[in-house]
């Protein structure tokens, strides 16, 4: 009896050791791959939220006691050099943290956003990643949709382009956003909420507003540091 208990204990201990050893090595092997995927996702998001701009340096600052990361960007328009910025924010939605990258010009106008991580409810908050085809029914049934539609983008994210991130962004309930709503919502500086997913909509919106405020503070601190005389 005693020998049986010792044998069982030894087997359980050995199994736990092997499992822990294997998991630690799997993590060590997969970590660089995961990091590479995250960098690629970040680079793709930067290209999406800063269309036409060349991304410059990545900067970090401490704003309100929290680490804040942002990127600078530039593009040439004739004789003018236009500046833009991108930043990452995280806000808790209904199902967890929503990580969003936002691009803005130097006036605070949103150039684009990209939700790069979310765990919202499928069919509700997860519709923030839903793409709407630009093809008509006739184009679909005739097989011409791929030729004419282009690459679709998530309608929820697309509606943020052109909004003033430095001002309060409103939320209205007009159903799924379409291009026909753009002018009216831009005048109101508002977005149309995802039906049944107010938490998700508000989390993304609040993250952009807070990120813009943090960006302004980070840029002010950077400017002061540049102006400070060398010791």
> Are the CB atoms for 84 and 73 separated by under 8 Å?
yes
pLDDT for 215-228, tens place per residue? 999 999 888 887 76
Please give the Cα distance from 115 to 97 (Å, whole number). 11
Confidence of residue 202 (pLDDT cuts 50, 70, 90): very high
The residue assigned the tokens 């994210």 is: 157
Confidence of residue 149 (pLDDT cuts 50, 70, 90): very low
Confidence of residue 208 (pLDDT cuts 50, 70, 90): very high
Please give the Cα distance from 45 to 55 (Å, whole number). 11
Average pLDDT over residues 203-230: 89
Question: What are the residues facing 209 on neighbouring strands?
Answer: none
Predicted confidence at residue 147, as pLDDT, reads 45
Average pLDDT over residues 195-210: 95
Among 26-30, 118-122, 145-149, 155-159, top mean pLDDT goes to 155-159
Q: What percent of the chain has pLDDT over 70?
A: 73
Asked if pLDDT for residue 93 goes beyond 60, the answer is yes
Question: What are the residues facing 66 on neighbouring strands?
Answer: 63
> Are the CB atoms for 56 and 127 separated by under 8 Å?
no
Coil, strand or helix at 58: strand
Rounded to two decimals, what is the model's pTM? 0.76
């Amino acid at each position: 009896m005693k020998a049986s208990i010792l044998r069982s204990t030894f087997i359980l201990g050995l199994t736990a050791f092997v499992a822990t050893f294997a998991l630690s090595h799997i993590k060590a092997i997969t970590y660089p791959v995961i990091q590479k995927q995250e960098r690629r996702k970040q680079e793709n998001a930067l290209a999406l939220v800063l269309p036409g701009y060349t991304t410059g340096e990545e900067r970090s600052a401490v704003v309100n006691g929290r680490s804040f990361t942002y990127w600078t960007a530039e593009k040439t328009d004739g004789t003018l050099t236009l500046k833009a910025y991108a930043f990452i924010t995280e806000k808790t939605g209904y199902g967890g943290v929503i990580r969003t990258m936002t691009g803005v010009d130097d006036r605070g106008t949103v150039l684009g956003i990209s939700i790069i991580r979310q765990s919202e409810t499928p069919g509700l908050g997860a519709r923030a990643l839903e793409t709407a085809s630009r093809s008509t029914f006739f184009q679909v049934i005739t097989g011409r949709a791929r030729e004419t539609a282009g690459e679709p983008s998530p309608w929820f994210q697309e509606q943020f382009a052109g909004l003033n991130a430095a001002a309060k962004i409103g939320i209205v309930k007009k159903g799924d956003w379409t291009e026909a709503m753009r002018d009216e919502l831009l005048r109101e500086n508002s977005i149309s909420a995802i039906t049944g997913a107010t938490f998700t909509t508000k989390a993304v919106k609040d993250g952009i507003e807070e990120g813009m405020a943090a960006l302004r503070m980070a840029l002010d601190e950077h400017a002061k540091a540049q102006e400070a005389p060398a010791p």
